A and B are shown apart, each in its own frame.
Chain A
Amino acid sequence: GENVEQHPSTLSVQEGDSAVIKCTYSDSASNYFPWYKQELGKRPQLIIDIRSNVGEKKDQRIAVTLNKTAKHFSLHITETQPEDSAVYFCAASPNDYKLSFGAGTTVTVRA
C-alpha cells in the first residue's frame, strides 16, 4: 500500500516567517495530494490540494508543490500568523478513494 512520510514532526517559526512541510510517498500511482489542518480538539479541515497533472498551486498565503519524479510534495505557508498554529497533515491517494496520511507536523507560530 501507499506509505507517506512527513517531515518535520514539529516546526516553530517566528510570526511573519515562512513554514515549509515536506512529504514523500511511495506509490507512483498516487494522483491526489491534499493537505489538512487540525486545530486542537477539532476535526481535520482541507486547506489545499493538488492533482498529479499540476506542479504547483497557490491559495493566498498557502502553496503546495509536487514533484512526481521524486515522489515528494510540500506545503509552504508564507507570512505566518498565530492562527496558523495547528497540526498539518499531508495525504496521498493511489486511487480515487483511499487516503494515506502522514504522521503530522505540529506548527507553532511565535509572536
Chain B
Amino acid sequence: NAGVTQTPKFQVLKTGQSMTLQCAQDMNHEYMSWYRQDPGMGLRLIHYSVGAGITDQGEVPNGYNVSRSTTEDFPLRLLSAAPSQTSVYFCAMGTHRSSGSLYNEQFFGPGTRLTVL
C-alpha cells in the first residue's frame, strides 16, 4: 500500500492560471482533507471530505474547489491562481476510530510545492 500519493511534487503557475492538485489513497479511508502550510503559520485546513460525494469547507476555502467522486481520489482545484496561494499543499487521509471514542488519526501525503508568479 502506498498510503497517500500527491502529484505533482512541484508546480509553477502564472497568476490567473488554473490547475488541479491530485491526491489519491489506497487504504479505503473515509476521511480526506487538504491543508496548506505557510512559514510560521502551521497547517491550515482548506477543504475536507468524510466520504464519497461529501465535502465541506475548512478554515481557508476561498479560491479552491474540491470534489470526491470516489473514495480513492480527492483533487484540489485552484480556479484562478494568485500569488497568495504560493504554499506547500498537503493532502491527508484518516479513518474514524470506532472504539467508543470518536477521533480521527490523520496521515499526510508527501506534499506539493506550488509557486504562483
State the A residues within 8 Å of B (CB): 1, 4, 6, 9, 31-32, 34, 36, 42-46, 49, 51, 53, 89, 91, 93, 96-104
Asked if B101 and A97 make an inter-chain contact with CB atoms under 8 angstroms apart, the answer reads no
Return chain B residues, CB-CB under 8 Å to A97.
31, 33, 48, 50, 94, 104
B90 proximal to A (CB < 8 A): yes
Instruction: Specify which chain B residues have a CB less than 8 angstroms from the CB of A93 in the assembled complex.
Output: 103-104
A6 to B58, CA, bound (A): 20
Judge whether A46 and B104 touch: CB under 8 Å.
no
Chain B 34-52 against A: per-residue CB contact (8 Å), 1 yes, 0 no? Answer: 0100001111110010100
Tell me if B75 counts as interface (CB < 8 A to partner A): no
- In Å, the complex CA distance between A93 and B58 comes to 12
**Is there an interface contact between B106 and A89, defined as CB atoms closer than 8 Å?**
no
- Rounded to whole Å, the gap between the CB of A34 and the closest CB of chain B is 7
Q: Would you call A96 and B109 a contact (CB within 8 A)?
A: no
| B96 at interface by CB-CB < 8 Å | yes
Asked if A96 contacts B102 (CB within 8 A), the reply is yes
Report how many A-B pairs have Cβ atoms within 8 Å.
66
Q: In this complex, what residue of A is CB-closest to B58?
A: A98
**Residues of B in contact with A (beta carbons under 8 Å apart):** 31, 33, 35, 40-45, 48, 50, 58-59, 90, 94, 96, 101-111
- Docked pose: A91 CA to B44 CA in angstroms: 11
Closest CB-CB distance, A90 to chain B, in whole Å? 9
Smallest beta-carbon distance B67→chain A, Å: 17
The reply to whether B105 and A49 contact each other, CB–CB distance below 8 Å, is yes
Known: A51-B101, A103-B40. A98 touches B108 (CB 8 A): no
Q: With A and B bound together, what is the CA distance between A65 and B1 in angstroms?
A: 33
Known: A31-B103, A97-B94, A101-B35. 16 other contacts (CB 8 A): A6-B42, A43-B110, A43-B111, A44-B43, A46-B107, A51-B101, A51-B103, A89-B43, A93-B103, A96-B103, A97-B48, A98-B59, A99-B43, A101-B44, A102-B42, A104-B42
